[in-house]
Amino acid sequence: MILKLLDLSQTPLTGAGPHFQNKTNRREACQIDLMLQTAHSICVCEVKCRATIGPEAAAEVREKIRRLKPPVGLTVRTVLIYQGALAGALVKEKYFDHAISFDDMLRTRA
């Protein structure tokens, strides 16, 4: 359902799942709820279940992408998968390329 809502249902994935990057001398630790990778892009998906989701969600994803240091040449797309209300400040910021509510997923057939 997520792939369909992101218009990726016909795009071959080279990787899909949660991602955890351990801390080393060269890189910081990073945990991504769901990462989808194609030949040309990475979708960093943040999952939030709260009464209200504020602009701190965008700040968290910015920091995760900074720590991840995606390979040069790959486009990074940001996705928020959520249950709850989006705060006006988060909507106004327009940081996420896609925002998918759990209700959207329930209405979508795979």
CATH code (residue 101) = 3.40.1350.10
Domain count, the chain: 1
For residues 42-60, one letter each, b for 16 or more C-beta atoms within 10 angstroms of the residue's C-beta and e for the rest, the string is bbbbbbbeeeebbbebbee
**45: containing domain:** 2-107
On whether the CB atoms of residues 44 and 66 are closer than 8 A, the answer is no
pLDDT in tens, 33-57: 999 999 999 999 999 999 999 999 9
pLDDT in tens, the chain (110 residues): 888 889 888 899 999 999 999 999 988 999 999 999 999 999 999 999 999 999 999 999 999 999 998 888 899 999 999 999 999 999 999 999 999 999 888 887 65
The model carries a pTM of 0.91
